[in-house]
Amino acid sequence: MQTDASRPPFWIPNETITIHDLSNKEFLDRFARAGRVGLSTGPTLPDRVIARAQRHLNLRGQWGTWTHAFIFEGTRVDGNHWVVESDLVCHEKHLQLGVQENRLDRYYNEKLYPSLAVLDFGLSQEQTLNLVRESLDLVARRTRYSLRELVGIFLAMKNPVLRKKENLLAQDESFFCSAFVAHLFHKVGLRVVPGLTAKNTAPDDLARSPLPHTTYLLQRTTAPTRVTAVGKAIAAKVTAKVRQIRRATTLKSKRS
**Has residue 4 been placed in a domain?**
no
Give the pLDDT band of residue 1 (cuts 50, 70, 90): very low
Per-residue pLDDT tens over the stretch 21-69: 899 999 999 999 999 999 999 999 889 999 999 999 988 889 999 999 9
**Has residue 2 been placed in a domain?**
no
pLDDT the model gives residue 59: 81
pLDDT the model gives residue 224: 40
**Has residue 76 been placed in a domain?**
yes
Number of domains in the chain: 1
- pTM comes to 0.80
Per-residue pLDDT tens over the stretch 83-132: 999 997 765 556 678 999 999 999 999 999 999 999 999 999 999 999 99
**Has residue 111 been placed in a domain?**
yes
Higher pLDDT, residue 10 or 148? 148
Domain of 213: which CATH number?
Answer: 3.90.1720.10
Domain enclosing residue 73, as ranges? 12-249
Mean pLDDT calculated for residue range 233-250: 59
Which are the contacts of 175, defined by CB distance < 8 A and separation ≥ 6?
86, 99, 138, 143, 144, 145, 146, 149, 183, 198, 199
Higher pLDDT, residue 178 or 1? 178
**Has residue 254 been placed in a domain?**
no
pLDDT the model gives residue 88: 79
Per-residue pLDDT tens over the stretch 199-233: 999 999 999 999 999 999 998 754 444 444 445 55
Mean pLDDT calculated for residue range 171-178: 94
**Has residue 6 been placed in a domain?**
no
Distance, CA of 9 to CA of 7 (rounded, Å): 6
CB-count burial class (<10 Å; 0-12, 13-18, 19+) for 138: buried
The DSSP line for 146-189 is -HHHHHHHHHHHT-HHHHTS--TT--TTEE-HHHHHHHHHHHTT
**Has residue 237 been placed in a domain?**
yes
pLDDT the model gives residue 225: 43
**Has residue 78 been placed in a domain?**
yes
pLDDT the model gives residue 240: 63
Give the pLDDT band of residue 243 (cuts 50, 70, 90): low
